[in-house]
Structure 1
């Protein structure tokens, strides 16, 4: 059922929503979706919408701060990669906009540095002693503030451009992994529950929990704020909106599908997964819990990153070394995209705050 929601919601709602939000902004001169609402429904509607958007962005930021801090705390290699990645993105922006180096040469330079950075991050993880989670929460808040006030060309645009190559590599490997184990069948149950204990430790109905949990992969109002806040101002041609708005959301749907499939398709309760957990340095208690409960014994981040690493590793020959590297690569990819959301959401919240008080100008 989650896969059905991703597929149908993404194609028939999410992608259409993103494209139309982007085009609405473009046709109104590149203004935010909140200003579009003012043009269509009046000034009062704009400020009601702004208040809602600003409040929602605070919730988005809180959720992603927590996710990223947890990821960095449990997988320090992802933190190392993030710290290496940002200077590379800044360098790419400078090469593209402040030198005469061609875009192709600039991109190639950045990709080579990115690959070297990934290898370095896996080998030399960044460890924070003590309460790593709350330390990362503070550091991420500081990063988001700084990144949100920098010019778009300096960090946001080159970083997201570089992200595209990382995303396609991540998706390509996931597809290889899925196809490689396609003939072995699912290891997870076909059905668990229509009301699992997800929110607050009490049974959570399938609807509306699924649209809330699988947001950006299927349908997300946040995308309308992004599309009108930054994307519409960067289009070289209005015709590009279809590929970027509709096509970009289809790509997110592919990522969401893989994120749902991989943990349950192969790693739910595989006889070799316990050995892989040992290779990842998991405690005997965690391994024992996995053998008893399956992949649900792991936390949400581990289900995805370890499931990805194990599946791709099995498809590429079954080497534990490859599987461990791929699990760390999955964490690095996840951290990269969460960081993108963090400073983009902070920038958009700043825009919304400014719009709320534009009457003072």
Structure 2
């Protein structure tokens, strides 16, 4: 139990110590007007209070990732918790901070525009296409997952029979509304409450586990297990763990979401709390669910059996009702369901804004919003018919590749501005090695090459990209309209 709270303390300490260091390297300007002041439009550029911006940011980035990912990662043992701590403090929160603050500095620009400004037009065109693909995958994942969970809940706890298709249709209808209405009408008004519910639910579950007479918090594991692969299916830890646990450690999806709140933040001094802090909050949620998965089922074999029986959603259902009873279980379970729904709608909203930015189409008029949003939802509806497991695998890889692009963008910015680029260069090199090794080694999505060859290629690729970004692009001056 003690080392679980030690892990949480390390995350919180990372916010106050390393987060402050990252903020100092970036160099905030409290007197600089932010996009919600310079571009106020009553739709997407709307000033919101700091606490609301934080809670909305937390919900935007925390889909099923910090729950499903850590549950699947728990199959490797407590090593998953170590990655959550290190990844969150030194990679994920840094990634989120720069994706948010560079958007603030560039008028609330979306990630493709930011990437293009610091890495070049070729990278911009690539990210425009890739970001839309990623967001569509996210939107589909975050329709299918909550729809299945809600259908199971209703069918198990009531006399009603609800089909998966019905729940998908209901959630999609909500997504359409939330995507096109002004940000302060639904997202700014209700999401802070949902964010508080998320925090309450996570804390309530871990508290119930601590006081439980049937379960012990991480009682079957030693600290040394953090450095051991305990996967009962003999799955290799490298590089799969770093793809499996994304949102709880580092996630490229966050780079598409941070600009939404960059358009609503009224002072640069709030950036560390909003962007770095929300990622730390998500890391704590990831730690809780990883610990729940490791503790509730007792053994790795029992956890593996629960995942095999109904996926990570079955783990959520079993732990919620097993620890909190029927009423508490329903509240906790609904808290989990809210996560993907509140990230799915902002995924489609981000897609709309990226396309609007690309085509230079004003979004004040609702007609223009519908013109862009309608095709996105049509494609998303078609993709919901594809097997969820296939979508999830492609989402995982696309997600981490997006994180790589954002980290290299931040590196280019820091190098051009003559600031300490290593705070982003090191995690960028590591994650580049991860995604290259994964795609070369994975037989299902990639090329099925031997692990040693795949890893060597990953390391070499990371070194080459670092040379190009730091040694070539980093020697160039900042764009004329960019502020150091």
TM-score (norm 2): 0.52
Residue aligning to 1:235: 265
Residue aligning to 1:29: 107
Q: Does 1:301 align with 2:313?
A: yes
Query: Does the 8 Å CA contact 1:15/1:249 hold for their aligned counterparts?
Result: yes
What is the CA distance between 1:28 and its match in structure 2? 1.5
Query: Does the 8 Å CA contact 2:113/2:124 hold for their aligned counterparts?
Result: yes
2:191 pairs with one of 160, 179, 186: 160
What is the aligned-residue RMSD (CA, Å)?
Answer: 3.3
1:49 pairs with one of 110, 118, 127: 127
In structure 1, what is the Cα distance between the partners aligned to 2:170 and 2:111? 31
Rate the CA distance shift 1:187–1:51 in 2: closer, same or farther, 3 A.
same
Residue aligning to 2:66: none
Query: Does the 8 Å CA contact 2:294/2:303 hold for their aligned counterparts?
Result: no
1:114-173 CA distance string (max 9 Å, x none): xxxxxxxx8xx69444xx112222322222122101110111112221122112211321
Residue aligning to 1:170: 201
Q: Does 1:148 align with 2:179?
A: yes
Aligned residues: 279
In structure 2, what is the Cα distance between the partners aligned to 1:359 and 1:75? 42
What is the CA distance between 1:36 and its match in structure 2? 1.5
Output aligned runs, 1:121-140, within 5 Å.
Answer: 127-129=160-162, 132-140=163-171
Residue aligning to 1:248: 278
Rate the CA distance shift 1:59–1:185 in 2: closer, same or farther, 3 A.
closer
Output aligned runs, 1:159-238, within 5 Å.
Answer: 159-181=190-212, 184=216, 186=218, 193-194=230-231, 196=233, 205-228=236-259, 230-238=260-268
Query: Does the 8 Å CA contact 1:296/1:303 hold for their aligned counterparts?
Result: no
Rate the CA distance shift 1:335–1:359 in 2: closer, same or farther, 3 A.
closer
1:38-89 CA distance string (max 9 Å, x none): 22233332121111101111111221211111101101299xxxxxxxxxxx
Q: Does 1:65 align with 2:143?
A: yes
Residue aligning to 1:331: 333
In structure 1, what is the Cα distance between the partners aligned to 2:358 and 2:107? 19
1:156-196 CA distance string (max 9 Å, x none): 11222112211221132134234335994647686775484
What is the CA distance between 1:221 and its match in structure 2? 0.7
Rate the CA distance shift 1:186–1:296 in 2: closer, same or farther, 3 A.
farther
Structure 1 ranges of 4+ moved more than 3 A: 125-129, 181-196, 289-299, 358-361
In structure 2, what is the Cα distance between the partners aligned to 1:305 and 1:299? 10
In structure 1, what is the Cα distance between the partners aligned to 2:144 and 2:248? 19
Rate the CA distance shift 1:153–1:210 in 2: closer, same or farther, 3 A.
same
Rate the CA distance shift 1:247–1:161 in 2: closer, same or farther, 3 A.
same
Output aligned runs, 1:64-83, within 5 Å.
Answer: 64-76=142-154
What is the CA distance between 1:346 and its match in structure 2? 0.8
Residue aligning to 1:317: none
Query: Does the 8 Å CA contact 1:267/1:295 hold for their aligned counterparts?
Result: no
Rate the CA distance shift 1:178–1:46 in 2: closer, same or farther, 3 A.
same
Query: Does the 8 Å CA contact 1:60/1:345 hold for their aligned counterparts?
Result: yes
- Structure 2, unmatched stretches of 5+, are 1-78, 363-367, 369-484
Query: Does the 8 Å CA contact 2:100/2:262 hold for their aligned counterparts?
Result: yes
Query: Does the 8 Å CA contact 1:187/1:267 hold for their aligned counterparts?
Result: no
